[in-house]
Each structure stands twice: as structure tokens, then as C-alpha cells.
A = this chain, B = another copy of it.
């Protein structure tokens, strides 16, 4: 058990939990019927956005933020995954 060393952050793999925030605002030319399906809406918009700005899409605003947070703020499932990763030497 090298738990002490591990807790002082001598991790083999430097993984952490991050709180990520993406805010995108853009104008999009689209067919009216295409935006009606709420379930598909996010996928459709993300696809439209990631295909890049052109005559069909113009970016208005984009904000991306990441912040490292304490492990304890994540769910138990996520913390377990984190422990597995930190104790594994397989991850590169």
C-alpha cells in the first residue's frame, strides 16, 4: 500500500476531475422542420457548429472554461474510475 505517497499526488498518471463549461451562440440557416425534434436538437446543432463557420453558420459567441475540482465533488462512480486510473500503469 503506497496510499500516502499517492495522496500527496505522486500519481503515476496525472488525471483529475474538471468542471467544464461550454457556451456557444451562433446563427444558423436551417429548414424549419429540422429543429422541431427536441431529442435530436442538440446533436444537430453541435454537428452544425463543428462543421465550421460558412454561409450557413456564423459564430456570435464562444466561451470554454475548465476548472480542476476536488475529487469529492464528483460522483462515487467517477471517483472510483479516478482511483482505477491512478493505480493503473496502463494508461498512457
On chain B, the residues within 8 Å of A64 by CB distance are: 41-42, 45
Per-residue CB contact flags for chain A residues 61-92 toward chain B (1 = under 8 Å, else 0) read: 01010101100011101101110010000010
Interface size class of A (residues with CB under 8 A): 35 or more
Copies in the complex: 2
Partner of A49, one of B22, B62, B66, B91: B22
Decide if B41 touches A16 in the complex (CB within 8 Å): no
Decide if A27 touches B23 in the complex (CB within 8 Å): no
Interface residues of A (CB under 8 A from B): 13-33, 35, 41-43, 45-46, 48-50, 55-56, 58, 60, 62, 64, 66, 68-69, 73-75, 77-78, 80-82, 85, 91
